[in-house]
Amino acid sequence: MNPLKAKVIKIQSHKNLNIVTFAFANQTLVMLGLELAQGVKLGSEVELSVKPTHVAIGKEFHGDISFSNQLPAKIIEIDNGTLLSSVKLASSDALFESIISLERSQKMDLKVGESVTLFLKASDLYIKKVL
């Protein structure tokens, strides 16, 4: 996965809880966290990250879901192992990796070049560094 460069456009705080909204490639991403990294304020440029095991994929998805972050993506590579599949995805100018079970990958009949929806829970997104 390459770095997700984003800009802080909104910060909501209550006690130790923070909801931060970012501008990312003509879209918005939302992060839910307990503590903000030092230097994070409105207008800050940051590098975001998410673990590959926390990236979900929806195929032909239509409807509502509780994931705050939903990005259109294209499958660019699939590496099927014995138990797991590594699915590489491109969304805007960013690359993501999703690690899912081989069984789910096969059941979804995922194919390179296919358009899907990438899902990231707000609580799984984190600020890797302030730029």
The string of DSSP codes covering 18-54 is EEEEEEETTEEEEEEESSPPTT--TT-EEEEE--GGG
CA dist 1 and 98 (Å) reads 10
| Residue 37 confidence (pLDDT) | 85
H or E segment and range at residue 103: helix 102-108
For 49-76, the pLDDT digits (tens) are: 999 999 999 999 988 999 999 999 999 9
Selection from 52, 59, 68, 77 nearest residue 2 by Cα: 52
Show pLDDT as tens, one digit a residue, over the chain (131 residues). 667 999 999 999 999 899 999 999 889 999 999 988 889 999 999 999 999 999 999 999 988 999 999 999 999 999 999 999 999 999 988 999 999 999 999 999 999 999 999 999 999 999 999 99
Nearest CA-CA partner of 73 in 96, 105, 50: 96
Nearest Cα to Cα of residue 74 among 96, 90, 60, 58? 90
Say how far apart CA 65 and CA 22 lie, in whole Å. Answer: 20
| Cα separations in angstroms, 131 against 40, 87, 104 | 10, 28, 37
At 86 the three-state DSSP class reads strand
Q: Compute the residue count for the chain.
A: 131
